[in-house]
Amino acid sequence: MLPKETVMESKKRIVIVGGVAAGATAAARARRVDAECEIVLVERGPYISYANCGLPYFLSGDIKERSSLLLQTPEGFGAKYGVDVRVNTEVVEVDRTGRRVRLVSADGEVWLGYDKLILAQGGLPIMPVIPGSDWEQVYRLWTVPDMDRLEAALQSGRAKTAVIVGGGFIGIEMAEAFAKRGLRTTVVEMAPALMSMMDAPFGRLVEEELARHGVEVVTGTAVVAIDPATHEAELRNGRRIPADLVLFAVGVRPELELAKQAGLELGATGALAVSASLVTSDPDILAAGDMVEVTHRVHGRKVRVPLAGPANRQGRIAATVAAGLEATYNGVLGTSIVKVMDRTAGSTGLSERAALAAGFDAALAVIHKEHHATYFPGAKEMTLALVYDRATHRLLGAQAFGEAGIESRINTLAVALAAGQTVEQIAELDLVYAPPYSSANDPVNLAAFVAVNDLTGFSPLVTAAALRAELATEEAPLVVDVRSASEWAAGHVAGSRHLPLDEITARASELPRDRRIVVTCRAGYRGHLALRALRGLGFDKVRNLTGGFVSVLQDGGFSVEVSR
């Protein structure tokens, strides 16, 4: 909470290291809080406050003007906020005792005193060292000069094939960019699925969408060498993939050289440790953005979340505190979104995997539902998954994938998550509805209904992954598929029994009472009806496969039979 008075009278000097997301925000905020103080913004590169999140979209051709990525010129920013902006200048040393920093630029070297120092140095992309990684056709994408280098390579027309190492946000965005620029592109991801912050089915949906647009995805293996002579990337299994250029997008590590030299404390994750007010172990040095670790709002542990939103908000808070007011940063949820060709993937909080790893008794409800009323033209089905805690019923995270309406659902659930809401509270959220926008039961409400029904035992769920594991055991449940004959014939879980919903009551005697039963349909609703019917007939070991056969296909690990 900020005190009412936001303009202070002082003549202190705040020096900010790093002039992009956290740093530029900090400079502008410091000026708004303290009209008098001296603010020096030091940036190693030639640009400040540029849109690094926009770099892939310039390379894809979606953003036409390079200049539109350069949100502020150093001169314009300096004049607007009364900030002494020094670009092409690096801070190479912090003298904490003397409260000064050493600046190096083409003009030479100078020591600059500070009252408060804000480190907003971000991170550096990880560049694996493997045979051939020093080839000139190996790229990274982090800064405008990186983008210019890649653009020059694309414009030269010499590159026909590309390998992207890493299937996270930047890898996926760049796969789209390369594909749009006509390159035959392969994404290689070491993890079993793309998008490691989401559960595997969502990674596979992303993979399918890339494949639909001609991008090959190889998961569960690594690029171990690059051959500049043959223009190939070699995988661990010996496969060689054509690669006129290679882009590394395997993650970011915090830029900590200066902090380490200054003897500032690092945290459990290896990033810079800061208090809730973003103060480092030195009370006169604050830090914000990709270089710090912060508290995860769901499990309370320290995490690194290198995203622009948190960096900007942290920059704002660090400046507020540096300027002498009180402010606290209450942690991250990791809310994020990525465009994947014609689809969108988004998430907030913990995936089921992360929630289980954090020790929660986590459960998952999955729905596949149109983003607005089905009778209004243009409805697109989305997959929405809620992760919740069986003990407290609290939402732990949400993930969504689809063609439309993803951002509004994830943002809604991010707010619910930040508020610590239970799935019962989310079921009651009063959300917008008119046919072009949503349904009377918004996907958010519906997913919460499903979760509540699971928690109360009204309609217990089993996830596709859990069912797959159970089917491999001796106590495998009987899977009863309640879809129509034609749906069943087109594909069903191997070994399942077909009993259409309309006949479930009449033919219930065919089902065993002493064996666990899992009912399933296309997306979950008819399974729910079947479960309720069987419950009414005294079957008490019935669960509904959450997300139904669509989730079976998204899981990718089931043996599926076709009957015609």
The reply to whether 285 sits near ligand FAD by the rule CB under 6 A is no
491 binding ligand FAD? (CB under 6 A) = no
Contact between 39 and ligand FAD by CB under 6 A: the answer reads no
Which of 193, 259, 311, 396 binds ligand FAD (CB under 6 A)? It is: 311
* End-to-end CA gap in the chain: 65
| Contact yes or no for 70/47 (Cβ under 8 A) | yes
Please give the backbone phi and psi of residue 394, each rounded to the nearest 5 degrees, phi first.
-70, 145
**Set 38, 45, 53, 478: catalytic member:** 53
Residue 289 in the binding site for ligand FAD (CB under 6 A):
yes
| Binding test (CB under 6 A) with ligand FAD, winner from 58, 114, 139, 142 | 142
How far is residue 558's CA from residue 564's CA, in Å, rounded to a whole number? 19
Answer for the pair 557, 526: CB distance below 8 angstroms, yes or no. Answer: no
∠14-18-19 over CA atoms, to 5°?
A: 90
Q: Least distance (Å) from ligand FAD to the CB of residue 202?
A: 17
Contact letters for ligand FAD, residues 85-114 (x by CB under 6 A): -----xx-----------------------
CA-CA distance, 170 to 185, in Å (whole number)? 14
Determine the interface stretch with ligand FAD among 42-50, 279-287, 358-366, 436-444 (rule: CB under 6 A).
42-50
Distance, in Å, from the CA atom of 60 to the CA atom of 72, rounded to the nearest integer, reads 22
- 562 touches 489 (CB < 8 A): yes
Task: Tell me how far, at minimum, the Cβ of 254 lies from ligand FAD, in Å.
Answer: 9
| Size, binding site for ligand FAD by CB under 6 A | 32
**254 in contact with ligand FAD (CB under 6 A):** no
Q: Which of residues 45-64 bind ligand FAD (CB under 6 A)?
A: 45, 52-53, 55-56
The contact mask relative to ligand FAD for 379-418 (x = CB under 6 A, - = no) is ----------------------------------------
Query: Got the DSSP string for 84-122?
Result: EEE-SEEEEEEETTTTEEEEEETTEEEEEE-SEEEE---
Residue with tokens 């902006």: 85
Q: Which stretch binds ligand FAD (CB under 6 A): 36-44, 175-183, 423-431, 546-554?
A: 36-44
427 sits in which H/E element: helix 423-427
Is 256 in contact with 304 (CB distance < 8 Å)? Answer: no
* Candidate residues 42, 164, 246, 322; the one interacting with ligand FAD per rule CB under 6 A: 42
Is 255 a residue that touches ligand FAD (CB under 6 A)?
A: yes
- Residue 376's CB is within 10 A of a number of other CB atoms, namely 14
Query: Which listed residue (207, 290, 481, 555) binds ligand FAD by CB under 6 A?
Result: 290
CB nearer to ligand FAD: give 141 or 226. Answer: 141
Alpha helices in 428-478 (DSSP H): 443-456, 464-471
Let me know if 521 is a catalytic residue.
Answer: no
Please, what sign has the CA dihedral across residues 236, 239, 241, 245?
A: positive
Does position 69 interact with ligand FAD (CB under 6 A)? The reply is no
Active-site positions read 53
Residues that bind ligand FAD (CB under 6 A): 17-18, 20-23, 42-45, 52-53, 55-56, 90-91, 120-122, 141-142, 169-170, 255, 258, 289-290, 306-309, 311
